[in-house]
């Protein structure tokens, strides 16, 4: 199987394969340093809320509320939205509700 490596070329072949794998796995773009511009968080016995915004245009706001907390039918309802800038430069916003009826997103495209 590895008879072709007998002449000492096996090390060169392995080195080239490793270099190709490393180069192929390297990020194709320089990642930009993203800073957190704002972060808020609040946790209460009957729910929670949080929001953040970053320097790359990403943001998220979410609120969870416990419905019927004292009953056996208690359920968490979550509402919120998140926004981001796609690689093509378009701004997307997703507004959602999640609860007994599942996750229900609505997407809008900005400029």
Q: What is the 3-state secondary structure (H, E, C) of the chain?
A: CCHHHCCCCHHHHHHHHHHHHHHHHCCCCCCCCCCEEEEEEEEECCEEEEEEEECCCCEEEEEEEEECCCCCCCEEEEEEEEEEECCCCCEEEEEEEEECCEEEEEEEECC
- pLDDT of 13: 52
Q: Domain residues of the chain, as ranges? A: 36-109
**In angstroms, rounded to a whole number, what is the distance separating the alpha carbons of residues 59 and 83?**
5
Per-residue pLDDT of the chain (111 residues; tens, 9 = 90+): 444 444 555 455 554 555 555 555 544 444 578 999 999 999 998 899 999 999 999 999 999 999 887 888 888 999 999 999 999 899 999 999 999 889 999 999 986
Quick one: pLDDT at residue 29? 42
- Do residues 54 and 39 lie in contact, with contact meaning Cβ atoms separated by under 8 Å? no
Q: What is the pLDDT of residue 98?
A: 96
Q: Identify the CA nearest to 104 among candidates 76, 87, 81.
A: 81
């Amino acid at each position: 199987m590895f008879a072709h490596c007998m002449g000492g070329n096996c090390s060169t072949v392995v080195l080239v394969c490793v270099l190709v794998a490393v180069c192929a796995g390297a990020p194709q773009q320089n990642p930009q340093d993203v800073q957190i511009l704002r972060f808020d968080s609040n946790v209460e016995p009957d729910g929670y809320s949080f929001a953040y915004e970053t320097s790359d245009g990403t943001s998220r706001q979410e609120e969870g509320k416990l419905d019927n907390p004292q009953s056996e039918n208690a359920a968490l309802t979550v509402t919120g939205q998140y926004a981001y800038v796609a690689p093509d430069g378009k701004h997307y916003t997703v507004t959602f509700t999640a609860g007994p009826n599942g996750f229900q997103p609505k997407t809008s495209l900005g400029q």
